[in-house]
A and B are shown apart, each in its own frame.
Chain A
Amino acid sequence: MVAAKNGCKKIVIEPVTRIEGHGKVTILLDENNRVRQSRLHIVEFRGFERFVQGRPFWEVPVLVQRLCGICPVSHHLAAAKAMDLIVGAERITPTAKKVRRLMHYGQFFQSHALHFFHLCSPDLLFGFDADPAIRNVIGVAAKYPDLARQAVLMRKYGQEVIRITAGKKIHGTGAIPGGVNKNVSIAERDFLLKDLETMLNWARSAVKIARDYTVEHLDRLAGFGSFESNHLSLVRHDGALDIYHGNLRAIDAAGNRIFDQVDYQKYVDYIAEEVRPWSYMKFPFIKALGPERGWYRVGPLARINTCDFIDTPEADAARKELLSLSSGKPCNVTMAYHWARMIELLHAAEKIKELLHDPDLQGTDLVVTGTRRSEAVGMVEAPRGTLFHHYRVNDDDQVVMANLIVSTTNNNEPMNRAVQRVCEDYLSGREITEGLLNHVEVAIRAYDPCLSCATHALGQMPLVVELVNVDGQLIHRLARGSDGTILALGDPGGDNRGSSDE
């Protein structure tokens, strides 16, 4: 919890356990109480790669959905794409591809809507200095009930797209090695078309809210948790944004290409993962640049920066407007992630409309096979960023190796940088204030990190903050309670529930 060496002391923001909704921030101060270093610890998918070993490969697209309650479809599709190659399906049928794409756009729609409503909009609508007692999903529901109701129904709509394409809202089985196990019937298509225009309108409104907020507050947001970085994502062969399939492109902070159109089967030649002793989560980097300079951002803002255009008109117009902030160059404003996310929400709605009018969805040619392989990589752009699934399978059809680089891991270094920047700007003195906590949370939330891979059983607190002096004495401790209240935990004799005196 605390270390005191080289005249420095550590402040630890730590979880009670490694469970869902928990992060840990360690702030290392120098003797003058200035931030020397900060570290963000987030739950890694610990043990999953081992868990999947020995399982038949065809089970994997279903099994991996257990990784995450928010974006199981991303894992489902990334694994299915890898297993396509294992069964020799170099090209799946048009129906299979479009059903999968529809599933993926449905997931983007629900995931981005959920993030906007649940995590982002309280910060945007109330301001991130606002009291956390109102700066939350319940506060939004009370003050902006129409927006909140829209968000719930957008999330529900995306879930319905997933249910229809994957068979179920959770634990879907739609994508199988070599294709899909069902198409979309006319009745199912018409069911989704019924509310589509409403969803498009609401998506347009969400883009406007995020855009207006960012532009109006740009003076403050430009520096908030921001820094220049490389960006990485899949792009289509013609440079278009493509969240389901493409090749890897990496650019630097100025927009110069580091590499482009790299076949992701060869990702190990371009991306490496650094292990640091203080974190369960690895730190990926671009090999050619090394760990110091090769880290990169993924996710909505990175995708908007790396792509040349978006192939749906309204989202592309919004992309151009966002990039006008930086004169057409990559945007490195961390808080612009929210605007970029809403642009992708609109893009997803536009693509859902396009696909629902495509008769290939009703095709009956669902699965192909070919020459069996023993090793393959599957990759998609998940809502939170690029997702790598890499497997080896033996002659008995058992998985013998799995390596996953998930979106939140790809954003590990950037999230650390964002926290560091915020701590430098907002930490003063020897106490962690509720205000600092709020700002750290806002910076982390911009990346929408997914902590859902772990558990969330009853009885835990989302965030605990400890301040320890150079002698190892606990001098101040705060926790964010599961009901949003601040718990003062400084009394060694017991926990005192109540408001902070910050």
Chain B
Amino acid sequence: MNPQRRILVIGYGNPGRHDDGLGPALAAAAEKLAVPGLTVESDYQLCVEHAEMAARHDVVIFADASLTGPEPFFFEPLQPAGASTFSSHALGPGEVLALAAGLFGASPTAYLLGIRGYCFDQFGQGLSPRARFNLAFAVDFLENLLKNDSWSPRNLPLRPAASTASVCEELPCSKVSP
């Protein structure tokens, strides 16, 4: 990794909601990589102060669980985006970038790492087996990205040879309500 480049990984989600904890789990794994110049943040959700944090970095990777994205994960560039507020207090990653630009004059290069999860609708700790499987791929990918400084979605790994469903047993709570 280019040591001059300040990189921030923000893993967000609620570990008390099973696979919603994929973002924080990715953050915990990233911390263990001990990559110089890397800052790791873990939180329940994105909020306005993350804009200020993002503004202090050159590259920001937002890591979150994905309800419907491809398995095992996707990785794509992010741009600043508009806001939607109903009653939630959370921001989307695009909103964080928009605030970083609007309030702090910073435009870090940003990516979204969406890790596919399955089990969201109950309280409980621990990832489902399939989510753990997907997380392992995402962590490998991130490690390669950070250590080889290869910043392109083209470097995404191919889909695993075996379907995640075929190698993992289902949790009861994987019957997530639509």
Contacts and interface: CB of A to CB of B under 8 A. Distances in A.
Interface stretch (A373-381, A422-430, A479-487): A479-487
A484 B82 contact: yes
A485 B83 CA distance: 9
Given A138-B102, A155-B49, A118 B89 contact: yes
Given A149-B103, A441-B87, A481-B84, A118 B16 contact: no
A117 B49 CA distance: 12
A455 B20 contact: yes
Interface of B: prevailing SS: loop
Interface string B52-96: 100000000000111111000000000001111111111110110
Given A47-B122, A152-B99, A482 B92 contact: yes
B114 interface: yes
A45 to B, nearest CB: 8
Contact of B87 (A142, A148, A444): A444
Interface stretch (B38-46, B152-160, B164-172): B38-46
Interface in A49-81: 50-51, 63, 66-70, 72
Interface string A121-149: 01000000000110011110110010011
Interface in A451-469: 451-452, 454-460, 462-463
A73 to B, nearest CB: 12
A451 B13 CA distance: 14
Contacts of A441: 85-87
A152 B52 contact: yes
B177 interface: yes
A117 B51 CA distance: 14
Given A138-B95, A156-B52, A457-B67, A480 B84 contact: yes
B14 A449 contact: no
A19 interface: yes
B83 A138 contact: yes
A137 B45 contact: no
A159 interface: yes
Most B CB within 10 A of own CB, among A66, A117, A169, A170? A66
Contacts of A149: 103-104
A152 B48 contact: yes
Contacts of A20: 45, 88, 90
A: interface residue count bin: 35 or more
A122 B84 CA distance: 11
Interface in A63-111: 63, 66-70, 72
A484 B48 contact: no
Given A148-B99, A152-B99, A458 B114 contact: yes
A462 B121 contact: no
A118 B85 contact: yes
Given A138-B82, A141-B99, A452-B45, A119 B91 contact: no
A483 B84 contact: yes
8 contacts: A16-B178, A21-B90, A45-B123, A69-B44, A122-B85, A148-B99, A170-B44, A457-B117
Interface of B: 13-17, 19-20, 42-45, 47-49, 51-52, 64-69, 81-92, 94-95, 98-99, 102-104, 112, 114, 117, 120-125, 176-178
Given A170-B43, A484-B83, 5 more contacts: A451-B87, A452-B88, A457-B64, A462-B86, A483-B81
Interface of A: 16-23, 45-48, 50-51, 63, 66-70, 72, 114-115, 117-119, 122, 132-133, 136-139, 141-142, 145, 148-149, 151-153, 155-156, 159, 169-170, 441, 444-445, 448-452, 454-460, 462-463, 480-485
**A-B complex: 7 closest residue pairs judged by Cβ atoms:** A66-B16, A69-B44, A21-B88, A136-B83, A484-B84, A455-B20, A51-B123
